[in-house]
Structure 1
Amino acid sequence: MASATEDPVLERYFKGHKAAITTVDFSPNGKQLATASWDTFLMLWNFKPQARAYRYMGHKDVVTSVQFSPHGNLLASASRDRTVRLWIPDKKGKSSEIKAHTAPVRSVDFSTDGQYLATASEDKSIKVWSMYRQRFLYSLYRHTHWVRCAKFSPDGRLIVSCSEDKTIKIWDTTNKQCVNNFSDSVGFANYVDFNPNGTCIASAGSDQTVKIWDIRLNKLLQHYQVHSGGVNYLSFHPSGNFLISAASDGTLKILDLLEGRLIYTLQGHTGPVFTVSFSKGGELFASGGADTQVLLWRTNFDDLPSKDLNKRNLKRLHFDSPPHLLDIYPRTPHPHEGKIETVEVS
């Protein structure tokens, strides 16, 4: 079976941003990609050949985060200008502004049912908003430094957050209490997220590590030291079997979580990679970074019959992974491959 799978390949470049890319997010139907940048713009890229991209203007400072709502009818963005904006993802891109925090907003995240939005800010708080009439619901205050990221669990019952206070906190959305606390002496997590079944969280560490914790057992399951720069972002494959990380060493790394090892290093960007995200079905992923380019990759390696992560214990790993499969340099032309398509925005 395994021989049917192939290595990931770079499909397209999207060029149009004028500064570093901070986040990328696929639409639920997999036909579009939203990107956010230091240039204060959002862009919405259409995958259809010759389809034009839309540029959304409204934020007055760096856009730090962007996400589609689960139904794809809204796009939320966070900015250093202290606001959150909700956009209609069409060619007009009308938006409404939420004066969200008293300091830069670092992340936005919709709950799976699309009813709530969580925002994380350098004002040390996490806020939860009702999308019905866009009103404020409650704040979570326990972090003692900037909050980098806050994410709902798949069932919406928990929120995980990470902060420069070097803690990762888990909150119960019912009683608004902090129910769990993971602290790290070395660095802080730049980004944190739940795995697709909600049993684990993964952190992207400024100390160059990727860590996976079981939140029911409260223990560290896997610890990867595969990057030589701070890890900025990560994304779980929808199967939960793979994770991809983006780091300041200029690489993307693909981890096989069932085997507990590194399987690919992707060298597509020049300079730090700030963000990476799988599409909702997992067949594509996109990355962006300091080089202002957005790269679209075809996954290929995930065609294996899916093994459920629940049924296999994650192997515990504390050292550098064994030599991995492949370094992929998409810039070298392969005779059997067509030209990589570049989409530019005038």
Structure 2
Amino acid sequence: MQKALQKLAQFPAHPGGVNAVALALNSALVATGGQDNKTCIWSIRKLQEKSTPMMTLLGHSSPVTCVAFDQTEARVASGNVGGGLRVWDISAGKSIKIFSAGIHHQAVSCLNFNANGQHLTTGSNDMSVKVWDMRHKQVVQSYKIHSNNVNTALFSPDGKYLFTGGEDGICNVVDLGEGKVVKQFSHDGPINTIALHPLDLIMATGSSDRTSKVYDLSSFQIVASIPMDSTKIRSLQFCGDDGDVLCTGSEEAIKFWRWEKECNLQIQGNPNNYNSNINYNVMRKISRQYCSRARSKLLNLGKAEMVKFKKLIIPD
């Protein structure tokens, strides 16, 4: 039986509308950005029907379009419709960095910190993606790699790569050391969201074409596809202890998908063209080789057929 989601609280957050929400789970905080030009910080533990923010951060001159916490959850960044960018110290309740040089010419549509918090990436409706040095308050890399609005941008966990997706249906993989795009993937509609697996070189993309695709970044090959949703995919998140569940959010529903355990794998060099049914979990792979139960032989995952997802039923 599926578990029902229970609403904990509902309350007005910003007059005119809420444009962005970010969670800081360790410190139980929520950051919101709104049409009122404000960035607000809320305590999850104190949310009530008539809740008020624990902190209201002022300084933007236009509506706030995106917010993001750094890894320490001590800072939050916010971008606005005018292309402005600010970083706030939550404990001090004030803006500690205001980026004025090299700012975007149109709305900042997305932003994310890298793992050590020393760099920040932003994407914009001006079709550019920028990487900012937090210490020197300046742009260190700028890319014009989309032909339309940029919807999402995030760093790889090791900080060596940048992944971007846009209205043009293109997902770019940027090698930050080389300063260039090394791979592109595509959808038939705008790419709205990108998620990276927490343990492995796996990336998922979600699109307005109502599909999600999963790629192996070690080979830059598509390894899985998710059945078409009824509406556009707005968000993606790997979850579970080992990231073996993918959560997809559309305009109508939140769905959970688990990798199929069974996959037909053709043994290379077998004169009988024998197909062996093996068990594996691609999310927990340590290497790219797996053992076939039928032949006790190491096989390369690259020989496998495309993996399929199945709907995950959450038990009581």
Residue 193 of structure 1: which of 137, 154, 162 is its match? 154
The secondary structure found in structure 2 opposite 1:132 is coil
> What's the TM-score, normalizing by structure 1?
0.71
Cα distance in structure 1, aligned partners of 2:285 and 2:184: 24
Cα distance in structure 1, aligned partners of 2:238 and 2:59: 28
The secondary structure found in structure 2 opposite 1:246 is strand
The secondary structure found in structure 2 opposite 1:302 is helix
Compute the displacement of 1:327 (Å): 5.3
User: What residue identity is the alignment partner of 1:106?
Assistant: T
User: What residue identity is the alignment partner of 1:285?
Assistant: L
Residue 260 of structure 1: which of 220, 228, 242 is its match? 220
Q: Which of 1 and 2 has higher RCO (CA within 8 Å, sep 6+)?
A: 1
The match for 2:33 is 78
Change (3 A) 1:240 1:172: farther
* Residue correspondences, number: 273
The secondary structure found in structure 2 opposite 1:90 is helix
The match for 2:128 is 167
Q: Which moved further from structure 2: 152-161 or 273-282?
A: 273-282
The match for 1:318 is none
Residue 304 of structure 1: which of 285, 293, 300 is its match? 285
Whether the 8 Å contact between 1:70 and 1:110 is mirrored in structure 2 is: no
Cα distance in structure 1, aligned partners of 2:314 and 2:228: 12
Identity %: 20
User: What residue identity is the alignment partner of 2:29?
Assistant: L
> What's the TM-score, normalizing by structure 2?
0.77
Q: Deviations over 1:64-107 (max 9, x none)?
A: 33222252421212234432222211363543333452323222
Structure 1 residues 283-294: aligned runs within 5 Å:
283-291=244-252, 293-294=253-254
Whether the 8 Å contact between 2:258 and 2:310 is mirrored in structure 1 is: no
The match for 2:45 is 90
The secondary structure found in structure 1 opposite 2:92 is helix
Q: Deviations over 1:12-51 (max 9, x none)?
A: 6xxxxxxxxxxxxxxxxxxxxxxxxxxxxxxxxxxxx567
Residue 269 of structure 1: which of 229, 233, 237 is its match? 229
Cα distance in structure 1, aligned partners of 2:166 and 2:305: 21
The match for 1:5 is none
User: What residue identity is the alignment partner of 2:283?
Assistant: D
- State yes or no: 1:113 paired with 2:42: no
Whether the 8 Å contact between 1:239 and 1:306 is mirrored in structure 2 is: no
Whether the 8 Å contact between 1:261 and 1:324 is mirrored in structure 2 is: no
Cα distance in structure 2, aligned partners of 1:294 and 1:143: 33
Whether the 8 Å contact between 1:75 and 1:86 is mirrored in structure 2 is: yes
Cα distance in structure 2, aligned partners of 1:55 and 1:265: 35
User: What residue identity is the alignment partner of 2:99?
Assistant: L
Compute the displacement of 1:187 (Å): 2.2
Gaps in structure 2 of 5+ consecutive residues: 260-280, 289-303
The match for 1:36 is none
Cα distance in structure 1, aligned partners of 2:67 and 2:141: 21
Cα distance in structure 2, aligned partners of 1:223 and 1:86: 36
The match for 1:325 is 306
Q: Deviations over 1:198-233 (max 9, x none)?
A: 1111001211111110111112121112x1100011
